Amino acid sequence: MFDRKQFLKTSIAGLLPLGFTGFTSPKIYSGKKPVVISTWRTAVNANKSAWSVLTKGGYALDAVEEGVKVEEANPDNSTVGYGGRPDRDGRVTLDACVMDETGNCGSVACLENIMHPVSVARKIMTDSPHAMLVGPGAKQFALSQGFKEQDLLTPESKAAWEKWLESGNYSPPTINIENHDTIGMLALDSQGRISGACTTSGAAWKMHGRVGDSPIIGSGLFIDPMIGGAVATGLGEEVIKTAGSHLVVEMMRAGHSPNEACKIAVERIIERDPKNKEGVQVAYIALNTDGAYGGYSIRKGFDSVVTDPDGMRTEQVGYLY
């Protein structure tokens, strides 16, 4: 049988050496809609919340915001929002961003004492002339928009920090399911609109002011309205150095499936510095505007949660080591 999508992909691949960067239109909605996919198996409740928006015919951007807010408010999640581990000075600093189906984005970094940085990021997108605000300026903006200040350092986080202070050694952690569940989420709604969100407290015991990949558009999250989107999790410094999520989306533009595109992006991290074989974890998930999705990680241990009309499931992704 003639497979139109395969034909387009093969044709595009053949044309790439000629400088042709791929068809961007028309979109072919052959996948299942709506669909939401998020990083790490811990994100079940977040997916449920996003799905409750999507299943009523709601907007993908509302779905991802509502979804990741569940983890921002969860004191048991030590890598996102309330309960997130602090930096080496005992301060909880949060990074988040959103991107919508038109390629609009908002981002916030190093935000303190505000429970829902993802909502601040969305407000930056919709109610400010900017794409990104950081630190005290971001907080000032959040307060002006009615967000309330609150202490995000839970007794458990404080105790963990005090224990860490006994050694005070920082070495980039091997982020994996045992110690990390930063949430990145992508959704395609029933009208075919794609959006993404990413939110984290970043690396525990980081230097004050450290910003990871999660709020950096093109690193922790990227959406191309005509192609699809990708989000990252893992050691942010390595994602930033390879502009990871943008790379994934560009690989999908070049005709690769979401799985292949994510694999190319994790391989790039090893190609850039082969020492990253030794302990670094980075994972990407991707969703295209057809509703096809995939993921790939450097090492074993990463999985994603997917919900579509067939139900919710945890899916292992491929890995290099």
Which residue in 42, 93, 182, 289 is the catalytic one?
182
Minimum distance, C-beta of residue 214 to ligand SD4, in the bound complex (Å) = 5
Total residues at the site for ligand SD4 (CB under 6 A)?
Answer: 14
Stretch that binds ligand SD4, among 65-73, 145-153, 211-219, 300-308 (CB under 6 A): 211-219
CB 36 within 8 A of CB 54: yes
CB 202 within 8 A of CB 210: yes
Given the complex with ligand SD4, which of 175 and 194 has the nearer CB atom? 175
Given the complex with ligand SD4, which of 216 and 292 has the nearer CB atom? 216
User: Could you give the CA distance from residue 12 to residue 111 in angstroms, rounded to a whole number?
Assistant: 42
Q: Cβ-count burial of 13 within 10 angstroms (0-12 exposed, 13-18 middle, 19+ buried)? A: middle
Rule CB under 6 A: say whether 202 interacts with ligand SD4: yes
Rule CB under 6 A: say whether 251 interacts with ligand SD4: no
Rule CB under 6 A: say whether 242 interacts with ligand SD4: no
Taking CB under 6 A as the criterion, the residue among 34, 86, 234, 255 binding ligand SD4 is: 234
Stretch that binds ligand SD4, among 110-118, 123-131, 228-236, 256-264 (CB under 6 A): 228-236
Given the complex with ligand SD4, which of 36 and 216 has the nearer CB atom? 216
Rule CB under 6 A: say whether 119 interacts with ligand SD4: no
Rule CB under 6 A: say whether 79 interacts with ligand SD4: yes
Q: Rounded to 5 degrees, what angle do the CA atoms 232, 80, 89 make?
A: 110
Rule CB under 6 A: say whether 236 interacts with ligand SD4: yes
Stretch that binds ligand SD4, among 11-19, 52-60, 128-136, 208-216 (CB under 6 A): 208-216
182 catalytic? Reply is yes
Taking CB under 6 A as the criterion, the residue among 86, 212, 244, 291 binding ligand SD4 is: 212
CB 200 within 8 A of CB 108: no
Rule CB under 6 A: say whether 203 interacts with ligand SD4: yes
Minimum distance, C-beta of residue 58 to ligand SD4, in the bound complex (Å) = 26
Q: Assign 304 to helix, strand or coil.
A: strand
Taking CB under 6 A as the criterion, the residue among 107, 199, 214, 245 binding ligand SD4 is: 214
In angstroms, how far is the first alpha carbon of the chain from the final one?
37
User: Could you give the CA distance from residue 10 to residue 138 in angstroms, rounded to a whole number?
Assistant: 46
Q: Cβ-count burial of 127 within 10 angstroms (0-12 exposed, 13-18 middle, 19+ buried)? A: exposed
User: Could you give the CA distance from residue 190 to residue 178 in angstroms, rounded to a whole number?
Assistant: 35
Rule CB under 6 A: say whether 175 interacts with ligand SD4: yes
Place of tokens 């981002």: 107
CB burial of 40-57 (b: ≥16 within 10 Å; e: otherwise) equals bebbeebbebbbebbeee
Taking CB under 6 A as the criterion, the residue among 71, 213, 224, 303 binding ligand SD4 is: 213
Rule CB under 6 A: say whether 67 interacts with ligand SD4: no
Question: Taking Cα atoms as reference points, which of 248, 246, 256 lies closest to residue 8?
Answer: 256
Q: Which residues bind ligand SD4 (CB under 6 A)?
A: 79, 175, 180, 182, 200, 202-203, 212-214, 233-236
Residue numbers annotated as active site: 182
